[in-house]
């Protein structure tokens, strides 16, 4: 993005301030009534770069001083825009339209409104003129550590407790988990929602993408027999981050936890721990969490079930390296449930 923005800036500069050598070599000029004014050229340059346009208008900046790439993502390109009115965090994707970032923005806003755990406030989502999309959001300066596990657990539980849905399980829009579509059709029954829109969708994707009829057929058997795993559990539709792994967890300069890059929906709170295999949650995290959201009967029996969704998604996104983990979980449940 820095390279693209640099091209736009240099292009605009050459239009507004042509060198004497280039102007002297011109063989013609537009008739005076049709000459573009400097303000028209500025507006044309802004219209070619909707990110720059928003920052210099609604973002209240008059100057972009620096654009720096930020690493860490495998789906999108991220940049920091420094301006005379502060910094902005910008993500772009050259292949996917704005619906992906619109879903992210709605999730960020929903979490932000709980006033529990810190998330970056989204400002603008739009399309890029060359294809793809962008999102502009608050830039948060990270601290030197990931912060306290105990505080993270407590604040995450406070978010789950604060935000409930009266429409059931789902979300106002479909969104993405990584780059995989995540279906969020409102459903009154959690077990039905999780079976159909989480496990079922991923199993169908694996069959269509890899011809994997074995994992599909065994997964379908499990899907139809999930209910015994939820006996005694309270199934409330809590607002979930949805993709909570170590890369989406940080802390600000004060040490307060921050969560990023969500795949939000309203679901059973335990589903939030589905990425625990690469999140690094320790004992202090769970102890603090359960002080606010008490542990439910059968919690340990459902942990692998919620991890299965993410193992299947990694299988579909990144290939066969994750298949054995997903299949092992499915086969273990089939044996435990005797089906």
Q: Retrieve residue 336's tokens.
A: 């435990």
| H/E element, 6 | helix 2-16
The b-or-e profile of 22-45 (16+ CB within 10 A means b, else e) is eeeeeeeeeeeeeeeeeeeeeeeb
243 is catalytic: yes
Residue 146: φ, ψ to 5°: -85, 0
Q: Annotated catalytic residue: which of 243, 256, 261, 304? A: 243
**Residue count of the chain:** 339
Q: Is 86 left (phi over 0), alpha (psi -120 to 50) or beta?
A: left
Q: What is the DSSP string of 51-78?
A: HHHHHTTTT--S-EEEEEEE---SSSEE
Nearest alpha carbon to residue 78 among 87, 47, 64: 87
Nearest alpha carbon to residue 127 among 136, 138, 118, 137: 136
Q: Retrieve residue 163's tokens.
A: 């935000």
Proportion of the chain in helix, strand, coil states, percent, rounded to 5: 50, 20, 35
List active site positions: 243
């Amino acid at each position: 993005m820095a390279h693209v923005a640099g091209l736009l800036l240099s292009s605009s500069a050459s239009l507004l301030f042509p060198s004497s050598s280039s102007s002297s070599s011109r063989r013609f000029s537009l008739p005076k009534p049709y000459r573009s004014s400097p303000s028209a050229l500025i507006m044309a340059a802004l219209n070619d770069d909707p990110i720059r346009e928003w920052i210099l208008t609604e973002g209240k900046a008059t100057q972009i001083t620096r654009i720096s790439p930020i690493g860490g993502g495998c789906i999108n390109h991220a940049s920091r825009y420094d301006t005379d009115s502060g910094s902005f965090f910008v993500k772009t994707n050259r292949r996917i339209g704005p619906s992906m970032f619109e879903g992210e923005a709605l999730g960020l806003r929903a979490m932000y409104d709980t006033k529990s755990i810190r998330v970056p406030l989204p400002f603008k989502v739009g399309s890029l003129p060359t294809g793809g999309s962008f999102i502009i959001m608050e830039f948060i300066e990270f601290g030197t550590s990931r912060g306290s596990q105990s505080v993270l657990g407590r604040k995450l539980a406070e978010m789950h407790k604060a935000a409930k849905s009266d429409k059931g399980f789902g979300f106002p829009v479909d969104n993405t988990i990584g780059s995989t579509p995540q279906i969020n059709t409102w459903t009154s029954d959690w077990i039905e929602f999780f079976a159909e829109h989480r496990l079922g969708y991923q199993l169908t994707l694996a069959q269509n993408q890899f011809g994997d009829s074995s994992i599909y057929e065994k997964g379908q058997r499990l899907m139809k027999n999930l209910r015994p795993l939820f006996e005694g559990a309270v199934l409330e539709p809590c607002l979930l981050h949805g993709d909570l792994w170590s890369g989406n967890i940080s802390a600000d300069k004060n040490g307060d936890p921050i969560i990023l890059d969500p795949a939000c929906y309203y679901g059973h709170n335990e589903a939030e721990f589905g990425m625990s295999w690469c999140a690094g949650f320790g004992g202090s995290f769970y102890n603090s969490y359960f002080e606010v959201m008490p542990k439910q009967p059968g919690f340990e029996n459902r942990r692998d079930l919620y991890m299965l969704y993410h193992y299947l998604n990694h299988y579909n996104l990144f290939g066969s390296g994750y298949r054995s983990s997903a299949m092992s979980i499915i086969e273990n449940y089939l044996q435990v449930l005797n089906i």
